[in-house]
């Protein structure tokens, strides 16, 4: 629970210093999503991971390894929820980006 609160404070500071559309802000949303996932707060995890993904897509583009990571994290949260179709969609997009950016044998 302390980790979540720390990440929430970090989000407040990063949004103030860097704005909403910055890769570091997205990383903080990702951290919040991971913390919520561990705490079993899956709906919140999905929201935070979706925010991270939206920012990464805007800042880094669709075909960036960090964007792929966000698709994977969002997919894991959907999977934990039992939402298999969105989970599969996210994981397939993650795989597609990783294959395109890192190669088949990475």
Taking each helix axis as running N to C, give the angle between helix 2-18 and helix 23-39, from 0 to 180 degrees, rounded to the nearest 10: 160
Which helix (H) or strand (E) segment holds residue 38: the answer is helix 23-39
Q: What pTM did the predictor assign?
A: 0.93
106 residues of the chain, pLDDT tens digit each: 798 999 999 999 999 999 999 999 999 999 999 999 999 999 999 999 999 999 999 999 999 999 999 999 999 999 999 999 999 999 999 999 999 998 877 7
Residue with tokens 């990571």: 69
């Amino acid at each position: 629970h302390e980790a979540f609160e720390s990440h929430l404070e970090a989000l407040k500071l990063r949004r103030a210093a860097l704005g909403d559309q910055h890769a570091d802000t997205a990383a903080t949303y990702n951290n919040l999503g991971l913390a919520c996932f561990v705490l079993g707060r899956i709906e919140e995890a999905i929201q935070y991971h979706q925010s991270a993904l939206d920012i990464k897509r805007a800042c880094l583009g669709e075909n960036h390894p960090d964007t792929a990571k966000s698709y994977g994290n969002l997919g894991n949260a959907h999977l934990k929820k039992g939402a298999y179709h969105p989970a599969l969609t996210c994981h397939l997009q993650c795989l597609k980006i990783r294959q395109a950016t890192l190669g088949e044998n990475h």
